[in-house]
Amino acid sequence: MRSSVAELIADRIGDMPAGERRAAQTLIGSYPVIGLKTVADFSATAGVSSPTILRFVARLGFQNYPEFQAALQDELAEQLQSPASRAGGPARADAGGASPMVEATLDNIRETFRHIPARQLDDIVALLSNRRAGAYLVGGRFTDPIARYMAAHLAIIRPNVFHLAGQESNWRDRLIDMGKRDVLLVFDIRRYQDSLVRFAEKAHQRGVQIVLFTDQWLSPISRFARHVVPGRTGVPSPWDSSAALMVVAETLIGGLTRALEAESARRIRDMEGLRQP
């Protein structure tokens, strides 16, 4: 699978001058819609010149603006696919015995980490290292198990960790306690969940710092997020795979455990002591 435009941006934004970086951030914040508009509209929204937009597109490796828009249109079509539209025959093992599903999953993990800057993972760990801030985690219909799994680990490492379970109304009740120093980690992959988008928007309005874990086509929540972590999810199945996002979550769990080594060790010892009869 070729790299998405969002992945190309993640790979190259560190080398972009300020104007092109603004174009990149504008596109990520309204992905992919703003890129499907005219150069003039894109440049006006980003607050840069039309030549800057064209240089930005060229830096991503496109020959011209129509080629760039064609790539975004292809991504939009993939983003809107349902499991029914992706249904097909069962994936069979090749002559070497490797399942195409296994190979695709391993490739997803490799490609996901190839496009995530190490600095971004460090920045997320730094956000979560503030033990006085609340860390709230929530996911969609199929991704909430990752949120719950990550929350269970974070609650051992540090205090003030909350998994938002149940109905959307229960999540909204939590907003009263959420503010500018808190972090909301959201897992949302296609087909994106409207209730998560609404909740993320309300949290953003309260100044909550949002970390979004999504797919290569980017959930609409990206426009509210401080950090967007795209993971590869496509496999030879009607269903998307969350395996790469699970590995991202475990990587952050390990990073935070190291960052809070003394406190996490103490908390683990105390917990073990409390479990003794």
Mean pLDDT of the chain: 91
Q: Which residue has the higher pLDDT, 92 or 142?
A: 142
Whether 28 and 9 have beta carbons less than 8 Å apart is answered as yes
Give the pLDDT mean for 161-180. 91
How sure is the predictor about 167, in pLDDT bands with cuts at 50, 70 and 90?
A: confident
The residues near 233 (Cβ < 8 Å, ≥ 6 apart) are 108, 189, 190, 215, 216, 240, 241, 242, 244, 245
The pLDDT of residue 264: 85
Residue 86 predicted with pLDDT over 70? no
Say how many CA atoms lie within 13 Å of 65 toward its Cβ.
16
| Amino acid code (one letter) for 276 | Q
The residues spanned by each domain of the chain are: 5-79, 101-275
Task: Summarize pLDDT for 186-197 with one digit per residue, the tens.
Answer: 999 988 999 999
pLDDT at 95 over 50: no
Cβ atoms of residues 175 and 275 within 8 Å: no
pLDDT band at 179 (very low <50, low <70, confident <90, very high): very high
86-114 residues labelled b (16+ CB within 10 A) or e (exposed): eeeeeeeeeeeeeeebebbbeebbebbbe
The arithmetic mean of pLDDT across residues 9-22, rounded, is 93
Nearest to 165 by CA among 134, 128, 140: 140
Judge if 5-79 and 101-275 fold alike in CATH terms.
no
Residue 149 structure tokens: 């799994």
Using DSSP's 3-state secondary structure scheme, residue 232 falls into coil
- The predicted pLDDT at position 260 comes to 94
What residues have CB less than 8 Å from 8, skipping those under 6 apart?
60, 61
- Strands laid side by side in the 209-215 sheet: 161-163, 135-139, 183-187, 209-215, 227-231
- Is pLDDT of 97 > 60? no
pLDDT band at 3 (very low <50, low <70, confident <90, very high): confident
Query: Could you report the per-residue pLDDT of 253-265, keeping only the tens digit for each?
Result: 999 999 999 988 8
73 has a pLDDT exceeding 60: yes
CATH of 101-275, one of 3.30.750.80, 3.40.50.10490, 1.10.1040.50, 3.40.50.300: 3.40.50.10490
Does the structure show a pLDDT above 60 at 94? no
How far apart (Å, rounded) are the C-alpha atoms in residues 37 and 44?
11
Please state the rounded mean pLDDT for residues 8-16. Answer: 92
| % of the chain beyond a pLDDT of 90 | 75
The token pair that represents 57 in the structure block: 């597109």
Band (pLDDT 50/70/90 cuts) for residue 52 is: very high
175 secondary structure, DSSP code: G
Architecture in CATH of 5-79: Orthogonal Bundle (1.10)
Reported as a single tens digit per residue, the pLDDT across 228-248 is: 999 999 999 889 999 999 999
Q: Indicate whether 87 pLDDT > 90.
A: no
Whether residue 10 contacts residue 115, with contact meaning beta carbons closer than 8 Å, is answered with yes
Model pLDDT, residue 170:
86
Please calculate the CA angle 146-147-149 and round it to the nearest 5 degrees.
Answer: 60
* 30 φ/ψ angles, rounded to the nearest 5 degrees: -140, 60
